């Protein structure tokens, strides 16, 4: 006997109900299997191995975009940009302030007071310095986020700036402007020379902030204390990219300086020995390898601000017509 239309409709409703129930149960199962309740939760690979948190492959936001950072800078593939030949203007970089340093569970974050600013260097606006953050490893052979010609460095120091019209980094992150944020990246090379005094001030404070959410105020220091060679660091690379942590917004102008800073080996290794990702009272997870792996450059160009020297064959291109002209004048 063929079912009536009313019976068919009843069966269809039951099927829809069962399908909805199945999808609801599936969503609950997925949520319980590791998807964080807080969409802002994320962690580095070393944390992901010890905790139930999403590692780099599962980072939220735009972290799977096409203009992500960091990148490997191949010098021979960079392009000269005359606009970058202007000198930077550093405003307040020499002023000494007591800095608040926070262990935020990912790195140590130095909270600047917002009165330190930068302009020039091809930037189209004035930017205020908000934070200094550090990336490192438990090895002196890696730790930096950016690499040059495939070479990693022991550490990278990044000064995060936002356009002067913004008051907070969060506002710049939410902005649709492609140059809302600019970051200056400094590669750190391990050295056997004398201690770096600026880094030592930071290191002296680490003993008081071993765990997540710990914070301390340093003795007064300036950004020039941390990066004393800044005025002499003229050669840099420039490209458009992103923050290297979630939500990885792609509205960052990067400046990566070519010449590394020299910091004593033991000073660099102290970061991995003194700091932990976790809060006090939890299982200690050393804060190390807190750098993002290399991202694809894609079709982006990376620019440099200075041509080191003219190539030999380039000289001949200019020299031949010059000599011809001088000879013509002499014979005339």
Query: pLDDT (tens digit, 9 = 90+) per residue, 197-255?
Result: 999 999 999 999 999 999 999 999 999 999 998 988 989 999 999 999 999 999 999 99
- What pLDDT was estimated at residue 114? 83
Q: Residue 18 pLDDT > 80, yes or no?
A: no
Q: Residue 321 pLDDT > 50, yes or no?
A: no
Q: Residue 132 pLDDT > 60, yes or no?
A: yes
Coarse DSSP helix, strand, coil percentages of the chain, rounded to the nearest 5 percent? 30, 25, 50
Binned at pLDDT 50, 70 and 90, residue 3 comes out as low
- What pLDDT was estimated at residue 4? 64
Calpha distance 40→268 (Å, rounded):
29
Q: Residue 324 pLDDT > 50, yes or no?
A: no
With beta carbons less than 8 A apart as the criterion, state whether 248 and 59 touch.
yes
- What pLDDT was estimated at residue 231? 84
pTM: 0.81
Query: pLDDT (tens digit, 9 = 90+) per residue, 303-320?
Result: 999 745 433 333 333 444
Calpha distance 100→131 (Å, rounded):
10
Side-chain-facing half-sphere of 38: CA atoms under 13 Å: 7
DSSP per residue, 139-172: STT---SSEETTB--SEEEEEEEEETT-SSHHHH
Domains and CATH numbers, the chain: 71-306 (3.10.200.10)
Mean pLDDT computed over every residue of the chain: 85
Per-residue burial over 6-25, b if 16 or more Cβ lie within 10 Å, else e, is eeeeeeeeeeeeeeeeeeee
Binned at pLDDT 50, 70 and 90, residue 11 comes out as low
Kindly state the average pLDDT of the residues 45-49. 88
Beta bridge partners of 186: 157
Q: Residue 331 pLDDT > 90, yes or no?
A: no
Query: pLDDT over 90 for what percent of the chain?
Result: 71
């Amino acid at each position: 006997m063929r079912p009536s239309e009313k019976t068919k409709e009843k069966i269809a409703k039951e099927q829809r109900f069962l399908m909805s129930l199945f999808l609801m149960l599936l969503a609950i199962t997925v949520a319980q299997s590791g998807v964080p309740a807080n969409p802002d939760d994320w962690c580095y690979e070393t944390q992901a191995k010890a905790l139930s948190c999403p590692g780099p492959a599962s980072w939220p936001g735009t972290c799977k975009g096409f203009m992500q950072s960091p990148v490997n800078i191949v010098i021979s593939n960079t392009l000269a940009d005359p606009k970058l030949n202007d000198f930077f203007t550093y405003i307040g970089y020499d002023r000494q302030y007591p800095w608040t340093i926070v262990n935020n569970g990912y790195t140590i974050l130095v909270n600047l007071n917002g009165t330190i600013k930068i302009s020039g260097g091809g930037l189209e606006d004035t930017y205020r310095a908000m934070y200094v953050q550090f990336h490192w490893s438990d090895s002196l052979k890696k730790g930096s986020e950016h690499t040059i010609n495939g070479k990693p460095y022991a550490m990278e120091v990044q000064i995060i700036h936002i356009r002067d019209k913004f008051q907070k980094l969060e506002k710049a992150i939410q902005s649709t402007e492609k140059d809302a944020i600019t970051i200056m990246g400094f590669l750190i090379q391990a050295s056997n020379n004398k201690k770096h005094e600026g880094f030592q001030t930071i290191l002296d404070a680490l003993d008081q902030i071993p765990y997540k959410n710990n914070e301390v105020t340093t003795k007064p220091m300036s950004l020039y204390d941390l990066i004393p060679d800044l005025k002499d660091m003229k050669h840099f690379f420039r490209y458009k990219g992103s923050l290297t942590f979630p939500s990885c917004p792609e509205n960052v102008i990067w400046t990566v300086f070519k010449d590394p800073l020299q910091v004593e080996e033991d000073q660099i290794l102290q970061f991995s020995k003194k700091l932990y990702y976790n809060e006090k009272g939890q299982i200690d997870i050393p804060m190390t390898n807190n750098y993002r792996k290399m991202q694809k450059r894609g079709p982006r160009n990376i620019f440099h601000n200075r041509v080191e020297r003219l190539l030999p064959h380039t000289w001949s291109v200019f020299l031949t017509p010059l000599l011809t002209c001088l000879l013509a004048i002499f014979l005339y």
